[in-house]
Amino acid sequence: MTAALDGVRACIGLGANLGQPTLALRHAADALAALPETHLLALSRFYRTPAWGRVDQPDFINAAALVHTRLAPEVLLESLLRIEREAGRERGPESRWGPRVLDLDLLLYGGQVIDRPGLRVPHPHLHERAFALVPLAEVAAAEPFPGHGTVAEALRAIDGTGVEPVQGVAGMD
């Protein structure tokens, strides 16, 4: 199953706080760029962000990627989950908001609203999470964010305190 023949722009959140998070995000970006029918358009700088949900864990390194893809949203999501598994990520209810070697979230997909079992786009809490919106606005400020206008408009509505660029680490070279 594919999306429209000409494809869509999709936004992906990247995060990690175990092992070597910066390296994990670099490898994940390479894996995104290697997906079939997908082109990595932009990768944000990397940001250090305080843990969210469960705060008794190391800070996260977060980034955002903008891709152009012909993959259907379900296929793209499965690809993200495969990349996580290959990095050593084990998902489960006990690990919700916990430490992880890699977290990839499908945040936005072509301005669409998708609500299916296992797939909700826009990501249901994106509008509340500076750790996702700050890097996303860097690469996709004008992207449509259903229910919130654009990514930039959603970012203006929240406090981005604590989301700081990692010095010496750029996104796409």
The answer to whether 89 is a known catalytic residue is yes
Return the HEC string of the chain: CECCCCCEEEEEEEEECCCCHHHHHHHHHHHHHCCCCEEEEEECCCEEECCCCCCCCCCEEEEEEEEEECECHHHHHHHHHHHHHHCCCCCCHHHCCCCCCCEEEEEEECCCCEEECCEEECCCCHHHCHHHHHHHHHHHCCCEECCCEEHHHHHHCCCCCCCEECCCCCCCC
Q: For 61-119, how does the pLDDT look when each residue is reduced to its tens digit (9 = 90+)?
A: 999 999 999 999 999 999 999 998 887 667 665 555 556 889 999 999 999 999 999 89
Catalytic choice (45, 48, 89, 129): 89
The pLDDT assigned to 56 comes to 67
* Mean predicted confidence (pLDDT) in 21-50: 95
pLDDT for res 51: 79
- pTM of the complete model beyond 0.95: no
- CB atoms near residue 97 (< 10 Å): 12
Catalytic annotation present for 30: no
pLDDT at residue 15 above 60?
yes
Q: Does 45 qualify as catalytic in the annotation? A: no
At residue 5, the pLDDT reads 60
Instruction: Spot the catalytic one: 9, 48, 103, 129.
Output: 103
Catalytic residue check, 159: no
* pLDDT above 70 (res 163): yes
Q: Which residue has the higher pLDDT, 113 or 162?
A: 113
Residue 91 has what pLDDT?
63
Dump pLDDT digits (tens) for 112-153.
999 999 899 998 889 999 999 999 999 999 999 999 999 999
pLDDT at residue 4, rounded to an integer: 53
Q: Which residue has the higher pLDDT, 169 or 34?
A: 34
Q: pLDDT-derived band of residue 2, with 50, 70 and 90 as boundaries?
A: very low
Query: Considering the domain 8-165 in this protein, what is its CATH number?
Result: 3.30.70.560
Q: How far is CA 92 from CA 8, 30, 108, in A?
A: 30, 25, 23
